[in-house]
Structure formats: structure tokens, C-alpha cells
């Protein structure tokens, strides 16, 4: 039987990272989970610790890391506004210094490296849906800039290493993702609504709720990450990964109320600064390159996420 790969996952105890670690272990890979536990949680990977192919390393990737691995997934960075705005300088350092350190490791090892970028590189878009060729409309000095511009700079670094050092890179732009292992206090739309509904609190909708998002279930996203890493076509991306089905924020709130059976009310609050009005990925390239598209129906994914929060709150 062929030996699995030794894979490094930064941010491996986070929401998406923990699911990726499980997916890699399930196919027989050896997984090194790296996390500084700023937003990642030990409970997300606690059940994996008994697996002899899994190890956890507490480390901040703004400092160099030395390891021997075959592949690197760089997912480390707080991804919700509450956390990335709490220490914006550290957020930028994680995206930029972290990218430099992980690229340096990949260069030494000649290992392929995947960068988890974000749909936030498009900012508040003037083009809808967003295609990878769109350069975006981002405020470089606003409260969200630490994350938006940090991820944009990380993409720049990845493509410069690709051109200058012939490094095997993959860059994916992740759109709104949801599912088990989300933090209840991360300020994201789905977790906010579910937690508020289960606690009998008012559901907080910012603006009038007409702004749109496209929500992808985490298992679908992880499948795309693995396919992108293992793709040998030499296409570095960037590649949009997300669900092209668009929903308004108000629709999501109403669906969560119905699925939870909650008697909570919906209340409206002012829209945050630089909050994008529309977010919908064009995934034509992902369909063509990876043969991938999301398969989980929104209501099915929401039910699984609601069950997770019922058990964890």
C-alpha cells in the first residue's frame, strides 16, 4: 500500500482547518496541525489526538517554522471581523509575514503550497457575480483593511514566488463558508443567527437585510481544497471556491428561525463600515479545472450546523 503524504495545515485547529485535517487523515495522510490557538480551538481536534498519524504543534506562523512535509495548506489567519479587527496589526502580520515564512518553507522543501485567500479581496464589488479576473474594489485604510489587504498582499507574494522561484503554488479565494466547528461568538452571519435563535434572543440583521451572500457548506469546500492541491495541471489560480446560490441576509435569518422553531424576532441595526452589498462567486473555472461544485443544499447544511450548536452551546 502506498504511503500517504505528510501534510502541514496551518490554522489546523480552526473552523475550516479542523475539517481539512479530518479529510486528509481519512485518506491516509499524516497531518501536522499548526495553530497558535488565537481563534482555533483544541476542542475542534481533540478527537484526532489519539490518531498516530496526527500531531499538533502550537506555533505562530509570523515566526519561521522548520518541518519536513510533502504539502502545505496555509489557512492560518483570523477570518471573522470580530477577531481580525481586535488586533489588526497582528492580522496583517499573519497574512504577510506568515505567507513569507510558509513560502520560504515550501521553497526549501520544493513542496506545493496552497494559500487560503478570501472573497474579501474583491471588497465591495462593482461586478456581479465576481470572476477571478476582477481586481476588486477595496478600501485600503478602513477597519476591514487589515484582513482584505493582508490577503491581497499574500496573493502577491505567492505569485511572485511562483514567477521568481518556480514554486508550485495554488491560490483559492474562499467565499462564505459555514458548518460545525464555527465559533458561537465569531460574528459571522450563520453562527450569529443560529446562536441567537437557540438562545431565544433577537436575530440581528444589519442594514435592511437585502445585501446578499452565497453560503457553502464546509465539507464541499474542503473537497475543493484537496482537489486543488492534488491537481497537477500546473494552474496556480486564483480560483473562486464557494456556492453560487445567492441568498439575502434576511432570507437566511427567516430560514434559521423556521428550522430552529425559535420564537425570536428579527431586529435591524446600522450596516457596518465597508460591509459588501453583494457576494456571489463565479465558479466556472473551478468546475472546469477541478470538476467540482457544491452539492449540499443550504437547508440541509443549516440543519447540520444547528444540530452542532444545539449540542455545543
Indicate which residue of 38, 83, 122, 147 is catalytic: 147
What's the burial of 27, exposed, middle or buried (CB within 10 Å: 0-12/13-18/19+)? exposed
Chain-centroid distance of CA 172 in Å reads: 10
pLDDT at residue 1, as a whole number: 43
Using CA atoms, how far residue 247 sits from 34, 92, 184, 232, 263, in Å, is 34, 30, 21, 34, 22
Sign of CA dihedral 34, 39, 44, 49: positive
Q: What is the pTM of this model?
A: 0.95
pLDDT at residue 274, as a whole number: 67
Q: What is the pLDDT along the chain (313 residues), one digit of tens a residue?
A: 457 999 999 999 999 999 999 999 999 999 999 999 999 999 999 999 999 999 999 999 999 999 999 999 999 999 888 888 999 999 999 999 999 999 999 999 999 999 999 999 999 989 999 999 999 999 999 999 999 999 999 999 999 999 999 999 999 999 999 999 999 988 899 999 999 999 999 999 999 999 989 999 999 999 999 999 999 888 999 999 999 999 999 999 999 999 999 999 999 999 887 677 788 999 999 999 999 999 999 999 999 999 999 999 8
CATH (one of 3.30.70.890, 3.40.50.1360, 2.40.50.100, 3.40.50.720) for 6-178+216-244+279-295 = 3.40.50.720
pLDDT at residue 20, as a whole number: 98
C-beta separation of 155 from 117 below 8 A: yes
Judge whether 162 counts as a catalytic residue.
Answer: no
Amino acid at each position: 500500500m502506498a504511503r500517504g503524504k505528510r501534510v502541514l495545515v496551518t490554522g489546523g485547529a480552526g473552523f475550516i482547518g479542523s475539517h481539512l485535517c479530518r479529510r486528509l487523515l481519512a485518506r491516509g495522510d499524516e497531518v501536522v496541525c499548526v495553530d497558535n490557538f488565537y481563534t482555533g480551538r483544541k476542542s475542534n481536534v481533540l478527537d484526532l489526538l489519539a490518531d498516530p498519524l496526527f500531531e499538533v504543534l502550537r506555533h505562530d506562523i509570523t515566526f519561521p517554522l522548520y518541518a519536513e512535509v510533502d504539502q502545505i495548506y496555509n489557512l492560518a489567519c483570523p477570518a471573522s471581523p470580530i477577531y481580525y479587527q481586535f488586533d489588526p496589526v497582528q492580522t496583517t502580520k499573519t497574512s504577510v509575514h506568515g505567507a513569507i515564512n510558509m513560502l520560504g518553507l515550501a521553497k526549501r522543501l520544493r513542496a506545493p503550497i496552497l494559500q487560503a485567500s478570501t472573497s474579501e479581496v474583491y471588497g465591495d464589488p462593482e461586478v456581479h457575480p465576481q470572476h477571478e479576473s476582477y481586481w476588486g474594489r477595496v478600501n485600503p485604510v478602513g477597519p476591514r483593511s487589515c484582513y482584505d489587504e493582508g490577503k491581497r498582499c499574500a496573493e502577491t507574494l505567492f505569485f511572485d514566488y511562483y514567477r521568481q522561484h518556480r514554486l508550485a503554488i495554488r491560490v483559492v479565494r474562499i467565499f462564505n463558508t459555514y458548518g460545525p466547528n464555527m465559533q458561537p461568538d465569531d460574528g459571522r452571519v450563520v453562527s450569529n443567527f443560529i446562536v441567537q435563535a437557540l438562545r431565544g434572543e433577537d436575530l440581528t440583521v444589519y442594514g435592511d437585510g437585502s445585501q446578499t451572500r452565497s453560503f457553502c457548506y464546509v465539507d464541499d469546500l474542503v473537497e475543493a481544497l484537496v482537489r486543488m492541491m492534488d491537481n497537477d495541471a500546473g494552474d496556480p489560480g486564483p480560483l473562486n471556491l464557494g456556492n453560487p446560490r445567492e441568498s439575502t441576509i434576511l432570507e437566511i435569518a427567516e430560514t434559521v428561525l423556521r428550522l430552529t422553531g425559535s420564537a425570536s424576532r428579527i431586529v435591524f441595526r446600522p450596516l457596518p463600515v465597508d460591509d459588501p452589498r453583494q457576494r456571489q462567486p463565479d465558479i466556472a473555472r473551478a468546475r472546469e479545472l477541478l470538476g467540482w461544485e457544491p452539492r449540499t443544499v443550504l437547508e440541509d447544511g443549516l440543519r447540520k450546523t444547528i444540530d452542532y450548536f444545539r449540542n455545543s452551546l
